[in-house]
């Protein structure tokens, strides 16, 4: 084979085995495959000249991996009446270049879909399981066996296999490490829980850690506890005065020591939106990253956004208690798009794009320079979340319930610089349930009908300065009726409402208010098949590389 043809074959082979995203990690993968193939050129003269260049490429690849360590992840919540199929969500994550995903439980279908995705996984343990896991080490061992070991041992991670096949010695200890985390509980020390989980969180954490070690995966799987930012604070408002809440101070130090002893990160959820929602006097520009707000001055450091200040309040609290070098993961950060006057696509785009720009430069925060490990909250909307904190709770998604991007967002991971929508979604018929035109809006049957519909469905888009806040009376009633109708899969009985409603094929949506058509829950299976094909191509290439290696 011509020495000029061989490099072209190598690059085409590397390109075919790596997903088409342009994230640093995907480019690193392509570079490594190209390097190995390139270095096996059958021309002896060419191979001798490659020795020095090969070392340089390997060093560059290692630096490439280090640069992509932070990456961006997404929270994948499942409190929805019509969830997208797991295979569709995994493809959505990969198409948009997300490198990791954070879960709130260990749903079997979700874990199966993630098993061969190459995504870094943080699997969650719900708060209502903490008591059982705290009281029984056997229960913790069973949980680890079913929800961690089974997937690590049985799942085929193509990238890990390639590391073994390629055997690039300089890179081998760094490349393709498939990290897992177990999140024990979710914000268990929220003050609104009134101490419900204070006695069970740490024992559950201990038992899960022991179970991971006993299962032989303690070095690969790390424990953490996602905590709300209210576990620490600063009496002066300056980050340097940060410390942990007095009522849980000793408990926090016990948790932090266990994390430190086992190389687990401190995971914190930071929400500038919540601060704005709760305090009408909160300076709105301080919630964003534009640098337009009056700074908080802390000694020689000026903070122009709440994220940096809040993050560094935690760092100071850790440092003050002897754990200044503990890794920190931002488990949740984002901005909702509906359900409140400040929750809209414009503000969400402003915040999330500002955050992505902020962390993409790798500068970190004043107290913790360097890449920031973070998960956006959240991937898709969840129409069955509790609205006790506020109507915005069902609208945190970067994507709608059916996988459509809500706004322009450049994650720095796609060729177009835009979000890519979910593929192969199947919808129910194009029909809606609306108030009959002949019915007067003041009909006495309407109020109880709306009350019932909204108690069973989702009417959080109706309200002051929300997406559907400009609808007239008939529009408000129709929105409530339709949401209930769609949630019940367009069942004819669900569009009765004491004979007040009718089904129409004319879309009643307005410029800002979308009357939804629900998805077919079992749709998008072709996406799963495509994922299998992609894995098959990569595996064939891996076998090809292995055979070539043995022959030359």
Q: Which residues are catalytic?
A: 187, 332
Pick from 410, 317, 399, 319: nearest CA to 358:
410
Q: Which helix (H) or strand (E) holds 108?
A: helix 108-114
Query: To 10 degrees, what angle do helices 24-39 and 44-67 make?
Result: 160
C-alpha pair distances (Å), 290 with each of 186, 355, 500, 545, 549: 30, 10, 49, 48, 52
Q: Tell me the sheet residues that pair with 368.
A: 365
Q: Are 455 and 387 in contact (CB under 8 A)?
A: no
In a 10 Å sphere around its CB, with 0-12 CB exposed, 13-18 middle and 19+ buried, how is residue 425 labelled?
A: middle
- Nearest alpha carbon to residue 169 among 54, 66, 247, 84: 54
3-state secondary structure of 481: helix
319 by Cβ neighbours in 10 Å (0-12 / 13-18 / 19+) ranks as middle
How does DSSP classify residue 333? Answer: E
Q: To 10 degrees, the CA torsion angle through 17, 19, 24, 27?
A: 30
Vertex 114: Cα angle to 110 and 120 (nearest 5): 125
Distance, in Å, from the CA atom of 477 to the CA atom of 443, rounded to the nearest integer, reads: 11
Measured CA to CA, the distance from residue 220 to residue 180 in angstroms comes to 7
Q: What does the DSSP 8-state code read for residue 542? A: H
Question: Which is nearest to 324 in space by CA: 242, 411, 438, 227?
Answer: 242
Neighbour-count burial of 306, counting CB atoms closer than 10 A to its CB (0-12 exposed, 13-18 middle, 19+ buried): buried
266 contacts 314 by C-beta, under 8 angstroms: yes
> How many angstroms separate the CA atoms of 492 and 486, rounded?
10
Provide the sign of the torsion angle of the four alpha carbons 384, 387, 392, 398, taken in this order.
Answer: negative
CB 222 within 8 A of CB 265: yes
Distance CA 17, CA 165 (A): 14
Answer for the pair 213, 151: CB distance below 8 angstroms, yes or no: no
Name the residue among 373, 396, 478 with its Cα closest to residue 431: 478
């Amino acid at each position: 084979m011509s020495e000029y043809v061989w490099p072209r074959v190598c690059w085409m082979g590397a390109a075919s085995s790596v997903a088409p995203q342009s994230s640093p990690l995907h480019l690193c993968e392509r570079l490594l495959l190209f390097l190995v193939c390139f270095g096996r050129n059958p021309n002896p003269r060419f191979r001798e000249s490659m020795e020095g260049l090969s070392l340089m490429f390997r060093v560059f690849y290692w630096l490439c991996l280090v640069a992509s360590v932070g990456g961006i992840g997404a929270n994948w919540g499942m409190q929805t009446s019509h969830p997208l199929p797991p295979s569709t969500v995994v493809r959505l994550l990969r198409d948009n270049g997300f490198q990791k995903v954070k879960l709130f439980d260990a749903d079997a279908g979700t874990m199966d879909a993630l098993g061969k995705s190459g995504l870094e996984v943080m699997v969650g343990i719900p708060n209502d399981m903490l008591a059982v896991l705290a009281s029984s080490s056997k229960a913790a061992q069973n949980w680890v066996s079913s929800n961690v070991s089974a997937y690590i041992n049985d799942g085929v991670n193509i990238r890990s296999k390639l590391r073994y096949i390629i055997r690039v010695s300089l890179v081998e200890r760094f490349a393709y490490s498939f990290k897992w985390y177990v999140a024990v509980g979710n914000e268990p020390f929220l003050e609104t829980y009134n101490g419900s989980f204070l006695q069970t969180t740490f024992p559950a954490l201990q038992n899960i850690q022991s179970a991971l070690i006993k299962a032989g995966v303690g070095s690969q799987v790390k424990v953490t506890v996602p905590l709300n930012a209210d576990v620490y604070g600063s009496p002066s408002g300056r980050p340097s005065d940060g410390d942990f809440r007095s009522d849980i101070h000793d408990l926090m130090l016990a948790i932090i020591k266990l994390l430190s002893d086992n190389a687990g990160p401190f995971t914190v959820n930071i929400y500038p939106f919540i601060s704005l929602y709760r305090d009408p006097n909160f300076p709105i520009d301080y919630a964003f990253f534009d640098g337009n707000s009056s700074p908080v001055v802390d000694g020689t450091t000026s903070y122009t956004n709440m994220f940096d200040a809040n993050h560094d309040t935690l760092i100071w609290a850790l440092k003050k208690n002897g754990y200044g070098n503990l890794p920190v993961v931002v488990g949740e950060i984002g901005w909702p798009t509906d359900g409140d006057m400040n929750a809209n696509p414009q503000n969400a785009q402003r915040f999330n794009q500002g955050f992505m720009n902020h962390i993409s430069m790798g500068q970190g925060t004043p107290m913790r320079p360097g890449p920031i490990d973070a998960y956006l909250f959240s991937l898709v909307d969840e129409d069955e979340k509790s609205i006790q904190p506020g109507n915005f709770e069902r609208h945190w998604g970067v994507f709608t319930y059916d996988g459509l991007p809500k706004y322009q967002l450049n994650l720095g991971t796609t060729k177009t610089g835009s979000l890519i929508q979910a593929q192969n979604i199947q919808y129910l018929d194009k029909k809606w349930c609306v108030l009959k035109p002949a019915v007067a809006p003041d009909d006495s049957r309407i109020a109880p009908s709306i009350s019932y519909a909204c108690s069973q469905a989702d009417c959080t888009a109706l309200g002051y300065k929300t997406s559907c806040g400009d609808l007239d009376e008939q529009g408000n009633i129709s929105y409530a009726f339709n949401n209930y109708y769609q949630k019940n899969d367009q069942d004819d009985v669900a569009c009765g409402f004491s004979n007040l409603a009718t089904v129409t094929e004319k879309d009643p949506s307005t410029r800002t208010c979308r009357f939804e058509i629900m998805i077919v829950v079992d749709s998008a299976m072709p996406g799963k098949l495509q994922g299998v094909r992609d894995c098959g191509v990569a595996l064939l290439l891996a076998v090809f590389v292995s055979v070539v290696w043995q022959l030359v």
